[in-house]
Amino acid sequence: MLRLLARRLMSNVPESTVYGGPKPQSPGRRVTLTHLRQKHRRGEPITVVTAYDYPSAAHVDSSGVDVLLVGDSASMVVHGHDTTLPISLDDMLAHCRAVARGASRPLLIGDLPFGSYESSTSEAVNSAVRMLKEGGMDAIKLEGGAPSRISAAKAIVEAGIAVMGHVGLTPQAISVLGGFRPQGKTVASAVKVVETALALQEAGCFSIVLECVPAPVAAAATAALQIPTIGIGAGPFCSGQVLVYHDLLGMFQHPHHAKVTPKFCKQYAHVGDVISKALSQYKEEVENRSFPSAVYTPYKISEADVDGFSNELQKMGLNEAASAAAAAGKNEETAGKPSDGNC
């Protein structure tokens, strides 16, 4: 008893925690479901960004965004497909692993792609398990509210994996929906959005994405639910918002990419213009031989070693190579000398 008391007194872990966690949230720690629930109770908006690789994940990580979603929209944004359908679970796992290496703070959610959870609840659970074990995710997201999707969500939650639902426009169901069409624009459709969201909540989902539905429908669903809603093209009344990294940064400027950037997306920058300008400048400087200059040629060899190298090349019968090495050495020496100030 005395040992237990001494250990407790010496420990910096609060008595109320189990196995050392969960601990109070701080800026440097991973966001948890507890943190999201606390924000939701306080009425604080939840921030979510969809990203697909290590560099973008590192940017999102440093921004302080709450949640990073590895979306199956990578099929369109990264792989260039017209829909989200072609991307496989293995493809998604590769994206998830890259994101997990780049982001240590936000809650990480991986999208279950089309074809990875529809056949049975056991398939759904197995795919979700892979997302956590192989992909490094904290939770998964699945689309739709058909009975089979509700069953899948429930089975995954019962397996101990957190699930985010997704209703409204569900891109994986475009063959049924007839394309990327907004939902909830009629009374029946609006009621279905709310009913589906409630069913997913009942199945154990911790949050629901509402995509491309009118603001009154999103407001009604948010009010009806006890879990947070994350809007995308659903107006300002959701518990939080999500946008795709590439979209909000304005990375796609070419007209061919108009089909990818949705009209509800605000572009907070025009990074695509900056990228295009930089690439054009690089091409021009390589062609006019102004790059690389001496500043970007950091690795040096002494004049004596250049002479020795040239001599060895001559012995090998490589006279042209010897001359090239000698000329480059003299050019490097001239470039490295400080200017005398004369024009």
Known catalytic residues are: 211
Q: φ, ψ for residue 211 (rounded to 5)?
A: -110, 130
Q: What is the pLDDT of residue 259?
A: 56
213 in Cβ contact with 183 (< 8 Å): yes
Per-residue pLDDT at 257? 52
- Written as six digits, the tokens of 48 are 């979510």
Q: Write down the residue that tokens 């930089």 correspond to.
A: 278
pTM above the 0.95 mark?
no
Mean pLDDT of 294-315: 93
Average pLDDT over residues 68-95: 94
pLDDT band, residue 332 (cuts 50/70/90): confident
Classify residue 296 by its DSSP letter.
G
Q: What gap in Å lies between CA 289 and CA 325, rounded to an integer?
A: 18
State mean pLDDT over 236-253.
Answer: 91
Confidence of residue 265 (pLDDT cuts 50, 70, 90): confident
Q: How confident is the model at residue 342 (pLDDT cuts 50, 70, 90)?
A: very low
List, in order of start, the domains of the chain with CATH numbers. Answer: 33-249 (3.20.20.60), 293-335 (no CATH)
| Average pLDDT of the chain to the nearest whole number | 87
Of 257, 242, 296, 251, give the one whose Cα is nearest residue 273: 251
Q: What does the pLDDT read at residue 173? A: 63
Residue 124, H or E segment: helix 121-133
Highest mean pLDDT among 4-13, 169-178, 271-280: 271-280
Query: Among 159, 161, 169, which residue's Cα sits nearest to residue 140?
Result: 161
Q: Is the pLDDT higher at 229 or at 333? A: 229
Asked if residues 168 and 213 have their Cβ atoms less than 8 Å apart, the reply is: yes
Helix or strand (DSSP H, E) at 7: helix 2-10
The Cα–Cα gap between 21 and 111 comes to 26
What number of other Cβ atoms are within 10 A of residue 336's Cβ? 10
pLDDT (0 to 100) of residue 340: 47
DSSP-assigned letters across all residues of 134-200: TT--SEEE----SHHHHHHHHHHHHTT-EEEEEEES-GGGHHHHTSS-----SHHHHHHHHHHHHHH
Q: Give the mean model confidence (pLDDT) for residues 182-204.
A: 93
Task: Specify whether the CB–CB gap between 141 and 114 falls below 8 A.
Answer: no
Residue that wins the pLDDT comparison between 13 and 250: 250
Q: Who's near 25: CB < 8 A, 6+ residues apart? A: 31, 32, 34, 35, 38
pLDDT at 130: 98
pLDDT at 177: 56
Q: Are 309 and 328 in contact (CB under 8 A)?
A: no
Q: Is the per-residue pLDDT at 127 higher than 70?
A: yes
**Any idea which of 40-54, 77-91, 179-193 has the lowest mean pLDDT?**
179-193
- Distance (Å, whole) CA 98 – CA 172: 23
DSSP 257-289: GTTTS-TT---S--HHHHHHHHHHHHHHHHHTT
Whether 236 has a pLDDT exceeding 90, the answer reads yes
